[in-house]
Amino acid sequence: MSSAWKLARAEAERLKAIHLRDLFVADPERFKKFSRQTDGLTADFSKEKIDEDALNALLALADEAGVTAKRYAMFAGERINLTEDRAVLHVAARDPEGGYDVSGADEVAPTLERFLNFAEGVRSGAVAASDGKPFTDVVSIGIGGSDLGPAMAVRALVPYADGPNVHFIANVDGADFADTTRKLDPARTLVIVQSKTFTTQETMTNAQSARNWLAALLGEEGANAHLAAVSTNLEATAEFGVSPDRVFGFWDWIGGRYSIWSAIGLPLAIAIGAEDFRAFLAGGRAMDVHFRSAPLADNIPMLMGLIGVWRRNLMGATSVAVIPYDERLARFPAYLQQLTMESNGKRVRRDGLPVEHATCPVVWGEPGTNAQHSFFQLLHQGTDVIPVDFLLAAEPHEALSDHHAKLTANCLAQSKALAFGKTIDEVRTEMAASGVAEDKIGKLAPHRTFPGDRPSTTLVYRKLDPATLGHLIALYEHKTFVEAAIWDINAFDQWGVELGKALAKSLLPMVEGKSSEGEDASTAGLLKTLKDLRS
């Protein structure tokens, strides 16, 4: 174990014995010392189990891991995705004039202009259906990064969505397609197929069903006027019937889970328009500038990444809850699941040797206040300590009496309760003051005691607008990068999804009725059970 890791572990062992209550008593200036601001975003780390010595140890860990050099390599366009021999420059997609040194960078600005012009055409009716009338609905078909990003962002920016209604289909389960299209009119619907290779099994199965759905009413030629695609496989898109002027590409240095900034964001651009989409890009770009230029001790993505390592490796957390007190960020935890767990769910280092430390925790969550009435019981009184990221807007979009005041009070109360808890003596005193009999107090007090000492970070922003959403996404992208740099893993491949895909392809003929001879006993037994149930 390196000297930096030994120092960080020593600081962690020291702090494990100190309750968050005592840290606040010892230092009333914790918020001032452990919060940071940039471009209207405040990150409050004061309820994390850190102090100045621990923070210095984490910064030493970043220095030892060469995080700054790795950050420079990414922005310089070096091929840091070594298993696929690719650069990692999703940042270029949100900075079309950035002059990045990578093949295809000069195509970013014209591609952005093309798909934004197309989006405006759909919104205005200049890009029309086969009968010359405007589209009222858009169906985006993709999966993974081609779905999670646009679907999350369209939901988040509903107040800015003044274009056609945008819907999403991802699951190969026919229920997803059927439920999404049930109330749509093919004559008024544009279908966007989102697949870089145009070969992804789930996406192309849904795409073929969508084409059949269109053609049943409009005919084959009419269906073509209702198709667009985001793909680099021009031969396949042409064969599918998509006109070349309705195909928009992106580059191998933009991974799927980072592709919302590229033409994969077309559904979002159709929903909110070109101007707001550019504001979304600008928000991400502002976070890039902060990440590249702010000193490490004041760098919010850097600190979030280091605290992520602190939580996972030094405090032993196996999962992290992301709780947006912002209903329109309902899909944000799911988006972060892919971003962080597909990126950092790795067991070997960049050199192929086993990792020396635990890597990515499980990421999960739901919006508050709903979550308070479900799994928050576990967060407060469960046997595992689960750190939480809270997200909160200062201003709502809807001026509905005191809704937002109550929402805000709940968010602040939850982070306070997790940190400070309620001791058994406090419970007993409170119950006695309420006139509860002593014998009943003895029985109930343990059940009403909250241990506290449960860490959280709170992110506060003015309002959830396009720039703020871009800011938040880029923040978590860079946080994930920092964690990977500390663990020395490749955050930009995803070989873990490939084996299941290959096995599904080989099993499909058996599911459809061919012999399962040679399969393991469980798979063969399940195939037979399914066959028996169908018959």
Active-site residues, by number, are 342, 373, 501
The distance between the two most distant Cα atoms of the chain, rounded to a whole number of Å, is 81
Q: Encoding tokens for residue 117?
A: 């012009």
How far is it, in rounded angstroms, from Cα 140 to Cα 181? 11
Q: How far apart are the first and last CA of the chain?
A: 60
Buried-exposed string 393-421: b where 16+ CB fall within 10 A, e elsewhere = beebeeeeeeebeebbeebeebbebbbbb
How far is it, in rounded angstroms, from Cα 185 to Cα 188? 5
Give bridge partners of residue 194 from the DSSP assignment.
230
Q: Whose structure tokens read 């029309």?
A: 128
Select from 231, 259, 268 the least CA-distant residue to 116: 268
DSSP class per residue in 415-459: HHHHHH-B-HHHHHHHHHHTT--HHHHHHHGGGG-B-----EEEE
What is the signed CA dihedral for 68, 72, 78, 79, rounded to 10 degrees? 40
- The one-character DSSP state at 231 is -
The residues near 328 (Cβ < 8 Å, ≥ 6 apart) are 155, 156, 157, 158, 159, 464
Select from 186, 363, 172 the least CA-distant residue to 257: 363
Q: In which order are the strands placed within the sheet that holds 165-169? A: 165-169, 137-141, 189-194, 227-230, 247-248
- Using alpha carbons only, what angle is made at residue 10 by residues 450 and 35, rounded to the nearest 5 degrees? 60
Is the torsion defined by CA of 70, 345, 364, 397 positive or negative?
Answer: positive
Q: Encoding tokens for residue 41?
A: 């975003």
